[in-house]
């Protein structure tokens, strides 16, 4: 594949299959989904996730925390099956089809493996290499394992990784509440307010896919949040949220995350996954 290092040509991602489990997937200790609602399925489910925006060039940590669903469809082993690799951009491959990958990890629970059957296959790609998977650590609620992925694609750096390590306390929670309130006010001003307020985040995401900020907004933001989308930001409510740290102590968030929205056309609600970090001058910034 020509120009594999170019993110306009390449999509880095994960094939994922789940049944009867919930999966908290994190890249560099940043949850891929809402921290309160990890990936999960009571019965068999498989898909592909494109993750260019979650990674940076160089070494990245990946952790997978697996816990059982309260209900599981009969006749299926509880399992998580994850395969990391890259493929040509604009392709729409089927999950786990016959193509190159860097690492394949399976963790299955069945009648003959009540404690879990764990297997790893290393393959490797020119611009993606996985280190040895760490040992599984278990608690009463979940099993967790991790790995490092060395990424050779030309992805932009993650600015928040240069931020301060945070010390959560009452004052920090007050500051973070203020940051969410400020951002809520900006985003409430309409589509232009949203794109202006989240420009650092959108710019970094655009760079990870090799497109301009304008192209990223047109393709990924306008359909969901544009004037014709019937999406509205809901009132800010931080009364039940707790302060939590992510990014190995460099990112702060309120959980449940308070920037929620509703799309009337589809009758669905969602949340803006926004984390804050403090730069070396002491200024709070949104994740980018």
Q: What percent of the chain has pLDDT over 90?
A: 76
How far apart CA 144 and CA 61 sit, in angstroms, is 13
Quick: pLDDT tens for 231-274: 999 999 999 999 999 999 999 999 999 999 999 888 889 999 99
How far apart CA 286 and CA 174 sit, in angstroms, is 16
How far apart CA 72 and CA 94 sit, in angstroms, is 24
At residue 34, what are phi and psi to the nearest 5 degrees? Answer: -55, 125
- Using pLDDT thresholds of 50, 70 and 90, give the confidence band for residue 144: confident
* For residue 256, cis peptide bond before it (omega within 30 degrees of 0): yes
Q: Has residue 115 got a pLDDT over 70?
A: no
Which has more confidence, 129 or 40? 129
Alpha helices in the chain (DSSP H): 170-187, 191-197, 199-208, 213-216, 222-225
Q: Has residue 99 got a pLDDT over 70?
A: yes
- Using pLDDT thresholds of 50, 70 and 90, give the confidence band for residue 114: low
Once rounded to an integer, what is the mean pLDDT over residues 54-83?
Answer: 86
Q: What are the residues whose beta carbons fall under 8 Å from the beta carbon of 229, sequence distance 6 or more?
A: 222, 223, 263, 265
Q: Return the pLDDT at 77.
A: 78
Q: Return the pLDDT at 111.
A: 59
Q: Has residue 121 got a pLDDT over 50?
A: yes
What spatial distance separates the first Cα and last Cα of the chain, rounded to whole Å? 29
Name the strands in the sheet holding 268-271, side by side, starting at the edge strand that comes first in the sequence.
231-233, 260-263, 268-271
Quick: pLDDT tens for 160-170: 999 999 999 99
> Average per-residue pLDDT in the chain?
92
DSSP states of 29-69 as a string?
TEESS-TTS-EEESS-EEEEEE-GGG--SEEEEEEEEEEE-
Q: Has residue 6 got a pLDDT over 70?
A: yes
- Residue 241, both tokens: 């949220």
How far apart CA 149 and CA 130 sit, in angstroms, is 5
Q: Return the pLDDT at 1.
A: 45
């Amino acid at each position: 594949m020509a120009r594999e290092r170019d993110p306009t040509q390449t999509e880095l991602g994960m094939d994922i299959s789940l049944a009867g489990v919930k999966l908290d997937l994190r890249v560099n200790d940043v949850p891929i989904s809402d921290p309160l609602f990890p990936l999960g399925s009571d019965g068999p489910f498989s898909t592909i996730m494109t993750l260019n925006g979650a990674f940076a060039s160089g070494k990245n940590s990946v952790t997978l925390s697996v816990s059982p669903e309260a209900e599981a469809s009969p006749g299926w082993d509880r399992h998580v099956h994850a395969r990391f690799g890259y493929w040509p951009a604009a392709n729409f491959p089927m999950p786990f089809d016959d193509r190159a990958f860097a690492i394949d990890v399976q963790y299955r629970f069945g009648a003959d493996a009540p404690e879990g059957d764990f297997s790893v296959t290393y393959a490797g790609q020119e611009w993606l290499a996985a280190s040895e998977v760490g040992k599984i650590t278990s608690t009463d609620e979940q099993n967790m394992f991790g790995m490092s992925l060395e990424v050779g694609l030309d992805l932009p750096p993650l600015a928040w990784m240069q931020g301060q390590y945070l010390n959560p306390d009452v004052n920090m929670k007050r500051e973070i509440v203020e940051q969410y309130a400020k951002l809520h006010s900006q985003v409430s001003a309409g589509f232009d307010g949203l794109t202006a307020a989240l420009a650092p985040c959108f710019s970094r995401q655009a760079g990870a896919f090799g497109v301009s900020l304008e192209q990223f907004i047109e393709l990924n933001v306008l359909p969901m949040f544009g004037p014709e989308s019937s999406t509205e930001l809901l009132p800010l409510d931080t009364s039940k949220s707790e302060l939590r740290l992510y990014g190995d102590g460099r990112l702060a968030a309120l959980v449940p995350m308070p920037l929620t929205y509703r799309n009337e056309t589809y009758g669905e609600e969602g949340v803006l996954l926004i984390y804050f970090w403090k730069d070396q001058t002491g200024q709070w910034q949104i994740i980018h």
